[in-house]
Structure 1
Amino acid sequence: MDIPTSISAPVRRFSPQVVDVEQQNRSGKAMETSKREFPVRDVSREVADRAERLRQAVREAGGNRAVAAKSGVPVGTIDNYVAGRDMRASNVARLAEATSVSIEWLLTGNGPRNGRSEVLLPPATLEASRAPPGYVSIPRYEAHASAGSGAINPTDRVIEQITVTEEYIRRVLGRQPKHMALLEALGDSMAPTIESGDILMIDVSVLTIRFSSVYVIRLAEQLLVKRLQLMFNGTIKIISDNPLYGEETVDPRKDQLDVVGEVVWSGGKIRVRAAG
């Protein structure tokens, strides 16, 4: 058998890659210029600061479980928020109320830290009638909540006491009787939810916005009944249920808006619909 004296292998050719240093430098400078001209907004610090404010408020309010029980926000969700996850707008209002801090402070760190604790309606000046066992007397104020463009009320005098079963307030409405007050609505901007002349029962212990509920508010010295929606940027959308009226957005950091109470019940006379 012949033994080969050489082994021929395929020859691999290597072509050196030519690098254009000048082009790389130009590209690098272009990227740096692009970064300067189109900076990417870094929101991590804003979210981290908000989480730190929430962590402090929750700790002072008794901890995550206590705040969860009071606010209705699950413990796991609060844990995520405290760890730095961004908060839903609806939960911001719940957590602010449960921890007794203002929504503005919790969201932005601006304004007073503590939420407003005083009730805008004054104490009842009319001596309450002695309610029979199982009943409570609720003061009705002379003030009118405008369901229109707004009406200035010169007085908040109590004109009568209306007796209601305590069970209805506690079990059906889920409220404390001592926090109830009655006002009359004027105007049609909240129709058909609230008609002009309806009596409103409001919970004056609710001083912050929760969900998309109906509230009696004071805005620029006007007493109004409107549906309010808290937006994530801290502004508040004022909504009229009557589609003939437009919406309005206010910034509580600039506009003086105070929540008098949340409307929990309304009622009035039977209205006859026009024929046709």
Structure 2
Amino acid sequence: MGLGERLAERMKSADLSQSELARRVNVTPQTIGKLIRGEARGSIHLHRIARELRTSPEYLTGDIDDPTAGAPPILPERDDIIEVPMLDLAYGMGGTFLEDDDPEVRHEPFSTSFIRRYTKAGPEHIVFAEGIGDSMAPTIGTNDLVLIDQSDNHLRMADQIWAFSFGGVGMIKRLRPRPDGSVAILSDNPSVPEDRAVDDELHLIGRVVARVAKL
């Protein structure tokens, strides 16, 4: 079975509709539909999809045949440790295609006190990703780790830094709502021109709440 068939099979087993799975993972139903129909080879959200379906990303992609093997346990949050997904896929500072990428995901333990400096979100809603490119320099540089709070997915304040999909391309930029209903996409690097999103072109993935960089 391919990704689409395995996804549909696990959705049936978990008694989840396409719209309900999309709601839980914080994507559009169209994104789930593309995966089921085989129009996308993978998704940045595959680890969260697998978690909701009580299986592993490896099973969904066909690397293993046991749906229970490698499934991340749904553990209660401990007082001292949070397991955070580490995506081996950089949200491009200048844009990286999301839907056709199949990111490898591993989980790393972080102290709860460290994570809680930046977000109160539950472990299932946070993820680390690596930046590529210089369009957000000097704020975010290549190989910097960014902590993304996926529970924060509503644009309430101007000029915060967000991870988002714009025309099917993943980006990390500042966003500024405009009076005409559009959203300005801003880079910290002054040499990168402003872009503009209108209508439903922009899908928020989560707010960037922290950056970890080497000295």
Is the contact made by 2:119 and 2:149 (CA closer than 8 Å) also made in structure 1? no
Alignment of 1:1-276 (within 5 A): 118-120=25-27, 121-122=45-46, 123=48, 125=56, 127-128=71-72, 133-148=79-94, 150-153=95-98, 154-170=100-116, 172-178=117-123, 179-211=125-157, 212-251=159-198, 253=199, 255-270=200-215
- Structure 2: distance between partners of 1:256 and 1:118: 19
- Structure 1: distance between partners of 2:110 and 2:179: 38
Q: What TM-score, normalized by structure 2, do the two folds share?
A: 0.63
User: What secondary structure does 2:155 align onto?
Assistant: coil
Match for 2:132: what amino acid?
A: L
Match for 1:119: what amino acid?
A: N
Match for 2:133: what amino acid?
A: G
User: What secondary structure does 1:264 align onto?
Assistant: strand
Is the contact made by 1:186 and 1:196 (CA closer than 8 Å) also made in structure 2? yes
What's 1:25 paired with? none
The runs of 4+ residues in structure 1 deviating greater than 6 Å are 129-132
Match for 2:136: what amino acid?
A: M
**How big is the shift at 1:127?**
4.4
**How big is the shift at 1:186?**
0.7
Match for 2:93: what amino acid?
A: A
- Structure 1: distance between partners of 2:85 and 2:97: 20
Structure 1 or 2: more helix by fraction: 1
**How big is the shift at 1:143?**
2.5
Q: 1:238 to 1:231 in 2, by over 3 A?
A: same
Q: 1:203 to 1:156 in 2, by over 3 A?
A: farther
- Segments of structure 2 that go 5 or more residues without pairing to the other structure are 1-22, 28-44, 57-69
> Which structure is richer in relative contact order (CA contacts within 8 A, separation 6 or more)?
2
Match for 1:165: what amino acid?
A: S
- Structure 2: distance between partners of 1:268 and 1:164: 16
Aligned residues: 151
Q: What TM-score, normalized by structure 1, do the two folds share?
A: 0.50
Query: Percent sequence identity over matched residues?
Result: 25
- Structure 1: distance between partners of 2:160 and 2:88: 23
**How big is the shift at 1:256?**
1.9
Give the superposed CA RMSD. 2.3
